[in-house]
Amino acid sequence: MGTGHFFWVIFYFASLCSASLANNAKINFREKEKKVLDQILGAGKYDARIRPSGLNGTDGPAYVSVNIFVRSISKIDDVTMEYSVQLTFREQWTDERLKFDDIQGRLKYLTLTEANRVWMPDLFFSNEKEGHFHNIIMPNVYIRIFPNGSVLYSIRISLTLACPMNLKLYPLDRQICSLRMASYGWTTNDLVFLWKEGDPVQVVKNLHLPRFTLEKFLTDYCNSKTNTGEYSCLKVDLLFKREFSYYLIQIYIPCCMLVIVSWVSFWLDQGAVPARVSLGVTTLLTMATQTSGINASLPPVSYTKAIDVWTGVCLTFVFGALLEFALVNYASRSGSNKANMHKENMKKKRRDLEQASIDAASDLLDTDSNATFAMKPLVRHPGDPLALEKLRQCEVHMQAPKRPNCCKTWLSKFPTRQCSRSKRIDVISRITFPLVFALFNLVYWSTYLFRDEEDETF
């Protein structure tokens, strides 16, 4: 019994020792991590002001590979010509001064949150207007140091970047917005930026833009030379295609409807002056308001945009319909005046003829009853001038009929009197305005759609 009790006491103490050793092993591992940090970043051992050496410890430039992850694009502003983007920005380089023992693979990397502890590339965004870091709940930044001395820097930032736009094809356009990153103080002799091999730019899968679609992107280099040296630069071009359905519903279809409504005045009676004037003025003012609203959402550029051509022509058609009524009204009043004058002349001639017949009758009554009357011959001689004239008229009427003209035949349905000119103008306008507007649509869409496909290159 005493031997068994002694055995259990020894087993208990052995268990305690093993647990204590395990705890000591864990504590020692964390302490080892602290010792590594103190060893490579301790005072007097690492100077963050000195850049890393080049490849294989040479005195060449330090190479920094860059890649970005686009998290969201919040807006693309046509007026200010800028766009806002939120991205995760990563840089990776090798600093041989930060090499350490990984304890047989148990220490994969060291994590820091203070960027001032190690040397950092002086990268800046050259086309940046505004930018800020994210500090909720903690600063969204980390630095990882790997056993071979490789350093990974990652940070989440939001930027508002300049995007010069060419709006000649607006709203059938594509825009290229760039993101440029360059070194501010280190020349290419000391620092070179490179795109990460494989997949330098990633874009979130469910990226949504209200009026644009991100078609593709392209990475490139944009080194710049100044009087202080050559500086390394990276850029990524984002190709955005404008969604046309919004503008079709909000601009193009309403403008077409206004133009068609202005043609209703051609079918109203020429005497309905208040109705035709009200219709023409209302459509003209509505079209002008639509045009001013479109221009208010765009920058005042010096060149003509595709939307300017459309609204300008539509405004011209509406204004032309109003002028057409003015012409119809003038022709109607002119024809009425001439018709009245013609009636007065006819009445005057009729009165003169009646007076002449009365005078002739009175003269006949006063003549002598024995007077003889000369009878005109009923048959004309062949040499009679009147007979020759009748013969020529018969020859003219016996000529072969000419081929009828469709336009003249259609216009001949309306009398040639002055009072019907106004109606003829309305009838011609009913056909001419829609045909010309349809021809304009054919030329407009074929020109800008084909130009959009051929001239817009990435």
Q: Tell me the CATH number at 131.
A: 2.70.170.10
Number of domains the chain is built from: 2
Question: Distance between alpha carbon 199 and the CA centroid of its chain, in Å?
Answer: 30
Provide the CATH number for the domain around residue 323.
1.20.58.390
7-54 per-position pLDDT tens digit: 555 555 556 555 554 444 444 567 777 888 888 887 778 888 899 988
Residue 69 has pLDDT above 60, yes or no: yes
Examine the pLDDT at 223 and tell me if it is beyond 70.
yes
Assess whether 256 and 282 both reside in one domain.
yes
Residue 414 predicted with pLDDT over 80: no
Same domain, 195 and 300: no
Instruction: Give the C-alpha separation, 367 to 174, whole Å.
Output: 103
Tens-digit pLDDT profile for residues 382-407: 555 555 554 455 444 445 555 656 65
Q: How confident is the model at residue 371 (pLDDT cuts 50, 70, 90)?
A: very low
How much is the pTM? 0.71
Residue 251 and residue 216 share a domain: no
User: Are 251 and 222 in the same domain?
Assistant: no
Digit-coded pLDDT (tens) for 235-256: 999 999 999 999 999 999 999 9
Instruction: Say yes or no: 329 and 442 in one domain.
Output: yes
> What is the C-alpha separation between 308 and 155, in angstroms, rounded?
44
Residue type at 418 in one-letter notation: Q
Q: Are residues 159 and 102 both part of a single domain?
A: yes
Assigned domain for 158 exists: yes
Q: Based on the fold, state whether residues 227 and 252 are members of the same structural domain.
A: no
Residue with the larger pLDDT of the pair 133 and 336: 133
Residues 6+ apart with CB under 8 A from 287: 255, 258, 259, 311, 314, 315, 318
**Do residue 199 and residue 283 come from a single domain?**
no
Does any domain span residue 220? yes
* pLDDT-based confidence at residue 145 (cuts at 50, 70, 90): very high
Domain interval for residue 167: 32-242
Which residue is it, tokens 């005493």? 2
| Distant-in-sequence, close-in-space partners of 414: CB < 8 Å, separation ≥ 6 | 420, 423, 424, 427
Q: Give the pLDDT of residue 272.
A: 81
Choose the weakest-confidence range: 4-8, 171-175, 291-295.
4-8
- Round to whole Å and give the CA distance between 349 and 343: 10
Q: Please, what sign has the CA dihedral across residues 62, 63, 69, 74?
A: positive
Mean pLDDT for the chain overall:
80
Provide CB contacts within 8 A for 1, sequence distance 6+: none
Where residue 458 falls among pLDDT bands split at 50, 70, 90?
A: very low
Domain end, chosen from 197, 220, 242, is at 242
Alpha-carbon 254 to chain mean position: 17
